[in-house]
Amino acid sequence: MKIALAQLNYHVGDLVTNTTDIVLNIKKAQQFNVDLLIFSELSVCGYPPLDLLDYPGFVKKCLESVESIARICTDIGVIIGSPSFNENEKGKNLYNSAFFLYDGNIQSVHHKTLLPDYDIFDECRYFEPNNEFRIIDFKGKKIGIAICEDFWFSQPVANSFGRTLLYRESPMDKLMELNPDFVAGLVATPFAASRIEARKEVYMKNSEKYGIPLFVVNQTGANSDLVFEGGSLVINQKGEVFDRLAFFEEDFQIYELDEVTDTRAHGLKLNIKDPVDMTFQALVLGVRDFFYKLGFKKAIIGLSGGIDSAVTAVIAVKALGQKNVEALILPSRYTARDSLEDAVKLAETLGIGYHIIEIDRLFDLYTELLNPLFNNLPEDNTEQNIQARIRSNILMACSNKFGSVLLNTSNKSESAAGYSTLYGDMCGSLSVLGDVYKTRVYEIAGYINKNTEIIPEGIISRPPSAELKEDQKDSDDLPEYDLLDKILYQYIELNRSASEIKEAGLDPSSVDKTISLVNNSEYKRYQSPPVIRVSEKAFGYGRKIPLVGKF
């Protein structure tokens, strides 16, 4: 049997474009006499459709698309993903389904059993779990279907409660009772730099445990804040990776089942992917698809001479091209000459347009106007925040006037600690580095400069500073980033308590200070722009903390 995998970049809700892409890949497979073509989870509508699923008309259009696709599947078997209606009187309205198409018709429908409701997933909100298992008899082979979480009965890493078994039964156990020859896996797994190899291990362990080949198809591309890396897998019955599709791009590959199952064949030796490289690629794809799928073309960035805006600018140019990125350099009396010179040097190296607008006159005007109201109160963060908001006003004015989208340049460490200004440096339509800790930002800068200096060395070596007052350094208000990020990771990603973090050997006073900063800044993060998610736990709907919660 000749089996093909189609790893595509879907646009959530754009049923016409998605259907067109699916049909083109079916026709391509037909030209190569493919027997079975597999697409990813919810491929017709794209993942995740979220509350579009609350509209019956949307689901009806999805099913109409499935029917139109089925009509061209006259000589090829195709497995695609789509929501479907639950016709029973009880339960949720929908199923997360896989459709087997052949001979011009829908031959069978298979539903997802395990519905994740952790992190960014909320499938229990929409879908009814499956409780019937069946296989496909096709061209002399028995084919099982598993949809994403159905492989994840046993989690590779214990959650913060120490549990690895989150479900009552294993869909794969049930499926294996029907003796399939191989399993088609339709998945939609968002990127997280630390989980690439762990995910691969999940599929390998399933294959090895049951002694069965797996053909696992993931989508690629970015939808809103989620990036999907692709990396679809073919795994033989020995639990070895036979092949892996490209990361962060569309791919189409064909396999002979006999070659995958040949006991003399050895698994593919895969190098562990560099998380810094992968994170950079994910951020580039996240920016590119955000603009493309929303119909935007041009970006504007506030270039400060600091590491965050420098890395954001490089990512934007890589994603959109130098002609579509423009920078504003907005120095004040507190901006170091080196910062200004390095900002100009970076803009010229990248080949992007830039303008220098000094903000001191505006700052002085604000100070003059507010002095009677402030009644000679001493300067504090107020004056620093005014400068940040002046810059954001100028950036947004240019964004409006020229139709450019403002990219936010704040990092995850700053956002976590509340080291940011509402309506100031928190402005922007998309937070490029909002899920990247400061230490990782420096690693990405090193990756960018690995072959030639793109980001000026002064930007990388200079102590980080907001430059909003004389001789200011981030370390005046925060623990050093090496320590801060270790505390943040354990508190945010690992859900560890202050006492547990202290027991790990981290400075007790820094732990207490950091956790207090995180807890007291939730109201700011509620007003942050959407963040490109590249970690296990990003701010946003993947981390739902009560706005006024106290613990």
Task: Give me the long-range contacts of 375-380 (CB less than 8 A, separation at least 24).
Answer: 379/469
Q: Catalytic residue at 148?
A: yes
Sign of the alpha-carbon dihedral angle for 33, 37, 43, 45: positive
Structure tokens at 369: 């106007």
Q: Which residues 6+ apart lie within 8 Å of 187 measured at CB?
A: 40, 41, 147, 148, 151, 216, 217, 218
Q: Which residues 6+ apart lie within 8 Å of 429 measured at CB?
A: 405, 406, 407, 408, 529, 530
Structure tokens at 297: 């073309």
Q: ∠ at Cα 95 (93, 100), nearest 5°?
A: 140
- Nearest one of 296, 227, 139, 323 to 530, comparing CA atoms: 227
Cα separation, 408 vs 525, whole angstroms: 13
- Nearest one of 168, 199, 211, 217 to 43, comparing CA atoms: 217
Catalytic residue among 73, 148, 398, 427: 148
Alpha-carbon Rg of the chain, whole angstroms?
Answer: 26
Cα separation, 488 vs 118, whole angstroms: 20
Contact (CB, 8 A) for 367 and 383: yes
383, containing H or E segment: helix 381-402
In sequence order, the β-bridge partners of residue 227 are: 222
Structure tokens at 514: 């950091």
Catalytic residue among 45, 61, 73, 112: 112
Cα separation, 157 vs 213, whole angstroms: 24
Task: Give the amino acid at 453.
Answer: E
Task: Give the amino acid at 348.
Answer: E
What angle, rounded to 10 degrees, do the helices at 337-350 and 307-320 form? 10
Catalytic residues, which ones?
41, 112, 148
